[in-house]
Amino acid sequence: MSDPIRVLVTGSAGQIAYSLVYSIAKGDVFGKDQPVILTLLDIPSMLLVLEGIIMELQDCALPLLKEVVRTDKEAIAFKDLDVAILVGSMPRKESLEWKNLLRANVNIFRSQGAALNKYAKKTVKVLVVGSPANTNCLIAAKSAPSIPKENFSCLTRLDHNRTASQVAMRLGVSSGNVKNIIIWGNHSSTQYPDVHHAKVTVSGTEMGVFDAVKDDDWLKGDLISTVQQRGGAVIKARKLSSAMSAAKAICDHMRDIWFGTPEGHFISMGVYSNGNPYDIPDDLIYSFPVVIKNKSWKIVDGLEINDFSRGKMDATAAELVEERDMAVLFLRV
């Protein structure tokens, strides 16, 4: 068996982490031969909750789980990390203006980026989940200049999975029969779920999703708005935000980073936009279609973009530019 890897989950007293840490500790992400040392970081008032989670993890009797550390200190949490999954962030509140929410998150992710820079391995893979995920990820990357920007990504896999599932349900096939969905842009309601390049296997034959569904209005209308508003729909029904599905998406995202994407498949993740082939402005964390090999991602090149897609890709980019420009201002003060 190999040496244990050190994996940090921030916001680990929260809802998403409750499902996530179990999946990581039982080998769903890094494989059934990879022992892990889990570090749980949350704010001081949550340390007792973390103690309860540690007791539960112990009671699961998971052979791959070598150690669990709980802390509210960045110097402990970020030490020698192989993987950092940054879930905790300042939550949206009615009383908190968007600008002030962004400012609070800039402070959190600047501090955690600096801690990555100072304490983590230079090879650390960083996945940002806490909202606004793209801009938080950008701030963390900017605050960790000694770690390659390529090591940072943000989660849009939940939106990707939601789209695949909607298409599969529409056609009455398994979601495993749908591939090459793209989420472009921001993990927000401006995101663009794009199925122009997606394929589905129906009765043993692989075909384009537009050919299989035969309802362009749905694919360019209700499907997109359903995915864009899915988070809100879950909150309305559950009175809590998506947690099980977010944890599953984090596992899918990190497993693909660790082991690579299957041949002929691409997936969506928010990555650094510099030099991208789709005329998206530089210096954003923007969700693109990527393939992953040897723990490195590459944006899928050469996909044809029609006017419909262009407009939506640019709209979500414009939102990210606005978010970035304001966040960078906060970074300077």
Give catalytic residues, as residue numbers. Answer: 187
Write the DSSP symbol of residue 185. B
In this chain, which of 117, 165, 226, 241 binds ligand NAI, going by CB under 6 A?
A: 241
Among residues 34, 42, 142, the alpha carbon closest in space to that of 53 is found at 42
In this chain, which of 3, 31, 43, 52 binds ligand NAI, going by CB under 6 A?
A: 43
Distance CA 156, CA 125 (A): 16
User: Minimum CB separation from ligand NAI for residue 287, in Å?
Assistant: 10
In this chain, which of 213, 246, 251, 300 binds ligand NAI, going by CB under 6 A?
A: 246
Residue 94 burial (C-beta neighbours within 10 Å; 0-12, 13-18, 19+): exposed
Label the pairing between strands 83-86 and 125-128: parallel
187 binds ligand NAI (CB under 6 A): yes
* C-beta separation of 306 from 316 below 8 A: no
Measured in whole angstroms, how far is the alpha carbon of residue 168 from the centre of its chain? 22
**Count, residues near ligand NAI per rule CB under 6 A:** 27
Footprint of ligand NAI on residues 87-106 (CB under 6 A)? 87-89, 91
108 binds ligand NAI (CB under 6 A): yes
Nearer to ligand NAI, 177 or 188 (CB): 188
Footprint of ligand NAI on residues 130-159 (CB under 6 A)? 130-131, 133, 155, 158
Distance CA 118, CA 79 (A): 8
User: Minimum CB separation from ligand NAI for residue 317, in Å?
Assistant: 18
In this chain, which of 40, 41, 115, 139 binds ligand NAI, going by CB under 6 A?
A: 41
In this chain, which of 8, 24, 25, 42 binds ligand NAI, going by CB under 6 A?
A: 42
302 Rama sector, left if φ>0, alpha if ψ -120 to 50, beta otherwise:
left
With CB under 6 A as the contact rule, which of the stretches 35-43, 163-171, 195-203, 209-217 interacts with ligand NAI? 35-43
Distance CA 29, CA 26 (A): 8
320 binds ligand NAI (CB under 6 A): no
Beta-ladder partners of 83: 7, 125
User: Minimum CB separation from ligand NAI for residue 253, in Å?
Assistant: 9
Distance CA 18, CA 14 (A): 6
16 binds ligand NAI (CB under 6 A): yes
In this chain, which of 10, 135, 153, 309 binds ligand NAI, going by CB under 6 A?
A: 10
With CB under 6 A as the contact rule, which of the stretches 5-13, 166-174, 208-216, 302-310 interacts with ligand NAI? 5-13
Alpha helices in the chain (DSSP H): 15-25, 47-59, 74-77, 98-119, 133-142, 157-171, 209-213, 216-220, 222-228, 230-238, 244-259, 307-332
* C-beta separation of 68 from 54 below 8 A: yes
Nearer to ligand NAI, 200 or 246 (CB): 246
Label the pairing between strands 83-86 and 5-10: parallel
91 C-beta neighbours (distance < 10 Å), count: 14
CA atoms within 13 A on the CB side of 296: 6
User: Minimum CB separation from ligand NAI for residue 203, in Å?
Assistant: 33
200 binds ligand NAI (CB under 6 A): no
Nearer to ligand NAI, 234 or 299 (CB): 234
Residue 188: both structure tokens together: 């927000």
In this chain, which of 8, 46, 106, 182 binds ligand NAI, going by CB under 6 A?
A: 46
Provide the binding-site residues for ligand NAI, judged by CB under 6 A: 10-11, 13-17, 41-43, 46, 87-89, 91, 108, 129-131, 133, 155, 158, 187, 241-243, 246
